[in-house]
Amino acid sequence: MPIFELFAPCPRGLEAPLAAELREIAKHTPLNVGAEVPGGVHFRGDWPAIMAANLNSRIASRVLLRMAQRSYRSENDIFELAVEQEWEHWFTHLQTLRVDVTAIKSPLRSLEFVTLRVKDAICDRLRDKSGDRPNIDTTNPDVRVYAFLTATHCTLYLDTSGEPLFKRGWRLDKGAAPLRENLAAGILSLSGWTPGTSLYDPMCGSGTFIAEATQMALGIAPGTHRSFGFEKLKRYEGKTWTAMKGAALQHHREAQGASADLGIYGSDISGDMLVKARSNLERAGLPEMPLKQIDARNMTPPFDTPGILIANPPYGERIEIRGPRGELREVRDVAHEMGQDEDDHGFRREQPDQTDAAFFKAMGDALKQRFTGWQAYILTSDRTLPGQLRLREALKTPLFNGALECRLFKFDLIAGSVRQRPAAAGDMPA
Ligand SMILES: C[S@@+](CC[C@H](N)C(=O)[O-])C[C@H]1O[C@@H](n2cnc3c(N)ncnc32)[C@H](O)[C@@H]1O
């Protein structure tokens, strides 16, 4: 059985949890985890390893199969490398193709031109071998090829995932500003949360943390209900995949009867978001989880046993609005009043800084006063968050939410010794 060189890209900051996850997968399906590099993890394995990684990885964005790697100086060198590869062994000219190129410190001027050259090379090769060129489809291609350029080397990858792996196949209504599923799963892993420990997301939005955690608690593989790019490749082992997917589906069926009493709880101030979260959970085939409409400033622990509170509050412009009497109002109504597009988020702020400062101070008070013994993990792009909460972070981890650089702040709300901090310079007075 051939052993392939594989690479799993992931959101930056999640390389270590991804490597740990691959080592877990390796306990059931042989694969060798290699180096962690910024933005992903190298590993090696055969077809079952490719399938198992696609089916079970919560943190990888894709699983890429390395076709070739060589030094280059010009676009022509890259063309030559691409034209030499036996693409005809993997797919046919009847399948549609998409090529993407990414580069770090490449001396070449135009990545579009490199993309074109790689595309040409693959199409020329298939025309020579089978008499015709494949069509290009950038939206819904059958086959995706990636070229990755460093200053000196070009690596060609064949994608085995198709749609990125954070698309689990059940999210229809994205809600507003949902977290990518693999980022949510990575944060759960960084927090050290394991099934059985109390988990509370007081700003659960469309329910990404809740859905990921529930699947983890029930042992449901994240890719159980989606298809993968490798299913369209010539060489994939259909029988092995049928058995692997069948087992995952069977496991999900058995888990469906499980009680929702998993120690996982979500709340949000927006009733609309809770409706979306519930229908997402339903589409994911998960039990009805406890979700409640609560303003995070008034939150109380949903469980007697302290655990982990995890949240990604609205960023920047995307926060709740204060009505004229100081109460929160959903912008859905206000947007209509102001003739604004309600598309970007369910909430908009009128007096941004004061609203933020007052809100986060109140949220910090709630954490300090009511969540003794809990650990709170908050993802935000706002580095002044600890100051606004009046809490001193125990840890901060840089993470990328797409292109947005964020910090995952950890706060230990230890009994009798909550690490408070004075208001930071520039914090708004409460
Ligand atoms: C960035 S979104 C969270 C997205 C969520 N993690 C997801 O994946 O869908 C922030 C959420 O905070 C909620 N929110 C805003 N103000 C709130 C408040 N005062 N109390 C509780 N939730 C609030 C919004 O309704 C929104 O769903």
Residue 307 carries which side chain, given as an amino acid letter?
Answer: G
Q: Are 134 and 97 in contact (CB under 8 A)?
A: yes
- 235 found inside a domain: no
Same domain, 212 and 335: yes
Mean pLDDT along residues 177-186: 92
Same domain, 97 and 147: yes
Mention every residue, 6+ apart, whose C-beta is less than 8 A from residue 26.
32, 33
Q: Indicate which residue's Cα is closest to atom 1 of ligand 1.
A: 314
Same domain, 270 and 317: yes
Same domain, 125 and 272: no
Distance 345 CA to ligand 1 centre (A): 10
pLDDT score at 35: 98
Mean pLDDT along residues 210-236: 95
Same domain, 141 and 76: yes
| DSSP letters spanning 263-312 | SEEEEES-HHHHHHHHHHHHHTT-----EEE--GGG---SSSS--EEEE-
Mean pLDDT along residues 219-230: 96
Q: Indicate which residue's Cα is closest to atom 5 of ligand 1.
A: 205
Q: Indicate whether residue 173 lines ligand 1 (CB < 6 A).
A: no
pLDDT score at 255: 87
Task: Please report, rounded to a whole number, the percentage of residues in the chain having pLDDT higher than 90.
Answer: 79
Please tell me which residue, 288 or 339, carries the higher pLDDT value. Answer: 288
Torsion of CA 233, 238, 243, 245, to 10 degrees: 30
The side-by-side arrangement of strands in the sheet containing 40-45 is 31-37, 40-45, 4-9, 64-71, 153-159, 143-149, 97-103
Work out whether the CA dihedral 107, 108, 110, 115 comes out positive or negative.
Answer: negative
Mapped onto helix, strand or coil, the DSSP state of residue 68 is: strand
Q: Are 68 and 46 in contact (CB under 8 A)?
A: no
pLDDT score at 176: 64
Q: Indicate which residue's Cα is closest to atom 15 of ligand 1.
A: 320
Same domain, 189 and 296: yes
Distance 181 CA to ligand 1 centre (A): 16
Domain of residue 212, CATH code: 3.40.50.150
Same domain, 204 and 331: yes
pLDDT score at 342: 29
Question: pLDDT at residue 388 above 90?
Answer: yes
- 265 found inside a domain: yes
Please tell me which residue, 350 or 193, carries the higher pLDDT value. Answer: 193
- 402 found inside a domain: yes
Mention every residue, 6+ apart, whose C-beta is less than 8 A from residue 294.
202, 267, 268, 269
pLDDT in tens, 148-157: 999 999 999 9
> Tokens for 329?
């109002």
Structural domain span for residue 197: 181-219+260-412
Q: Which helix (H) or strand (E) holds 115?
A: helix 111-130
Distance 203 CA to ligand 1 centre (A): 4
Q: Are strands 4-9 and 40-45 parallel, antiparallel or unpaired?
A: antiparallel
- 176 found inside a domain: no
Distance 201 CA to ligand 1 centre (A): 9
Mapped onto helix, strand or coil, the DSSP state of residue 251 is: helix
- Measured distance CA(226)–CA(184) in Å, rounded: 19
**Which residue carries 């190129």 as its tokens?**
101
- Measured distance CA(35)–CA(41) in Å, rounded: 6
Name which of 411, 329, 335 is nearest 377 in CA terms: 411
pLDDT in tens, 248-304: 999 999 888 777 689 999 999 999 999 999 999 999 999 999 999 999 999 999 999
Same domain, 155 and 185: no
Question: pLDDT at residue 83 above 60?
Answer: yes
Ligand 1 atom closest to Cα of residue 205 = 27
Q: Indicate whether residue 11 lines ligand 1 (CB < 6 A).
A: no
Q: Indicate whether residue 280 lines ligand 1 (CB < 6 A).
A: no
Q: Which residues pair with 143 in a beta bridge?
A: 97
Ligand 1 atom closest to Cα of residue 311 = 6
Which residue blocks in 8-67 are alpha helix, DSSP H? 15-25, 47-56
Question: pLDDT at residue 429 above 70?
Answer: no
Ligand 1 atom closest to Cα of residue 359 = 19
pLDDT score at 353: 61
Mean pLDDT along residues 370-387: 95
Q: Indicate whether residue 96 lines ligand 1 (CB < 6 A).
A: no
pLDDT score at 235: 80
What is the CA angle 180-185-186, rounded to 5? 100
- 242 found inside a domain: no
Going by pLDDT thresholds of 50, 70 and 90, the confidence category of residue 413 is very high
Same domain, 112 and 212: no
pLDDT in tens, 125-137: 999 999 999 999 9
Distance 285 CA to ligand 1 centre (A): 23
Cβ burial, residue 143 (10 Å; 0-12/13-18/19+): buried
Mean pLDDT along residues 138-144: 96
> Tokens for 296?
């995070």
pTM of the model: 0.89
Distance 268 CA to ligand 1 centre (A): 6
- 224 found inside a domain: no
Same domain, 108 and 201: no
The pick from 269, 315, 342, 381 for probing ligand 1's pocket by mutation, whose C-beta has the most ligand atoms within 8 angstroms, reads 269
Count of structural domains within the chain: 2
Going by pLDDT thresholds of 50, 70 and 90, the confidence category of residue 325 is very low
pLDDT score at 236: 83
Same domain, 28 and 147: yes
Domain of residue 44, CATH code: 3.30.2130.30
Task: Please report, rounded to a whole number, the percentage of residues in the chain having pLDDT higher than 70.
Answer: 85
pLDDT score at 1: 78
- 10 found inside a domain: yes
Q: Are 148 and 102 in contact (CB under 8 A)?
A: yes
Name which of 412, 404, 419, 398 is nearest 187 in CA terms: 398
- 250 found inside a domain: no
- Measured distance CA(96)–CA(142) in Å, rounded: 5
Mean pLDDT along residues 52-79: 98
Same domain, 113 and 211: no
Q: Indicate whether residue 346 lines ligand 1 (CB < 6 A).
A: yes
Mention every residue, 6+ apart, whose C-beta is less than 8 A from residue 40.
7, 8, 9, 10, 15, 18, 60
> Tokens for 232?
């369209």
Q: Indicate whether residue 175 lines ligand 1 (CB < 6 A).
A: yes
